Amino acid sequence: MDQQVSGADINADQVDYWSGQTGEKWAEGQDKLDAMLAPFGKAAMEALDLKPGDHVVDVGCGCGDTSFELASRVGPMGSVLGVDVSAPMLQRAGERLGDAALGHLRFAMADASAFGFEPEGTDAVFSRFGVMFFRNPVEAFTNLKAALRTGGRLGFVCWRSLDQNMWVSLPREAALKHLPAPEPVNPDEPGPFAFADAEKVTDILRDAGFHGIVLERFDTKVRNNGSLDEVTEFVATMGPVSRLLDEVEGEVRERAIDEVRDALASHHDGQALRLNAAAWIVTARA
């Protein structure tokens, strides 16, 4: 794995965030997270219409689950470069790669918004929930477009609005019954719901030089396997709600977690938690 973080100053806050405790937690929860997010990644891959022999960049590859799937789809005549800024998650991806011994897959610790990709050396750029964290998205997508050959494809999946994503809004509203209200989110700031507005996404991609831009709705349920206690612990320690809970401790935190557990109970069938999720599948051409 290449140990380089190109352009780290551009997204320094994201580099620090994903290489710290959050990245470590995501690496530890890799199996459960990948299972939850797999349907979204597969839908975006289907829209990207990969061919054997394609050369692909996987933006925000995390622990490598999507990169391995991409490598399977393009075959040994193709190649996949997975890039991410999270050292803990890339370490996990590297461990998995060592087990798999795939010659056409490699990982780089890099900021995709500024990384020096080979000009016009890529057939497709893919991302599963990795592109909403760019500090300057137009510059980032301009850099990714430069990596694509003429007519190359861009395909990614990003979350729609918070209120359409019950997997976040339900536990969040429950926790906030006992926690201080957070500062209002600036929609232009990097974050999981930064690409919720379809017009905004279209403008970003158009300004970066892409054409043939299509956004399609993808609605499903996020499945979180385990007992009610297990999924409550997972929600409390991973993802957006955990950031709220990390701000408090003691009895206040325990009351908030109990409230989250009660809110999740009616959506748990004894084996798994299932909550509505809404995303965009976005495709475009260079």
Check if the beta carbon of residue 171 is closer than 8 Å to that of residue 241.
yes
Token pair of 186, please? 């600036």
To 10 degrees, the CA torsion angle through 249, 183, 189, 278? 80
pLDDT (tens digit per residue) in 173-193: 999 999 988 888 888 899 999
Residue that has been written with the tokens 């939850």 in this structure:
36
* Overall average pLDDT of the 51-64 stretch: 96
pLDDT (tens digit per residue) in 73-112: 999 999 999 999 999 999 999 988 887 768 899 999 999 9
Question: pLDDT-based confidence at 236, cuts 50/70/90?
Answer: very high
- The rounded distance, in Å, linking the Cα atoms of 42 and 26 is 20
Residue that has been written with the tokens 């017009």 in this structure:
199
Residue that has been written with the tokens 């301009």 in this structure:
142
Is the pLDDT at 2 greater than 50, yes or no? no
Nearest to 260 by CA among 281, 239, 280: 239
Is the pLDDT at 227 greater than 60, yes or no? yes
Would you give the DSSP letter of residue 164?
A: G
Q: What is 12-161+187-219+280-285's CATH number?
A: 3.40.50.150
* Overall average pLDDT of the 22-51 stretch: 90
Q: Within a 10 A sphere around the Cβ of 101, how many other Cβ atoms?
A: 7
Question: pLDDT-based confidence at 167, cuts 50/70/90?
Answer: very high
Question: pLDDT-based confidence at 18, cuts 50/70/90?
Answer: low
Residue that has been written with the tokens 């475009």 in this structure:
284
Within 49-153, residue ranges assigned H as helices are 65-74, 87-100, 137-147
Residue type, 86: S
Token pair of 72, please? 């399977």
Distances from the Cα of 216 to the Cαs of 70, 163, 189, 201, in angstroms? 21, 18, 23, 12
- The rounded distance, in Å, linking the Cα atoms of 89 and 233 is 21
Per-domain residue ranges of the chain: 12-161+187-219+280-285
Distance from chain centroid for Cα 62: 8
Q: What is the pLDDT of residue 23?
A: 67
Look at 198 and 2; give whichever has higher pLDDT: 198
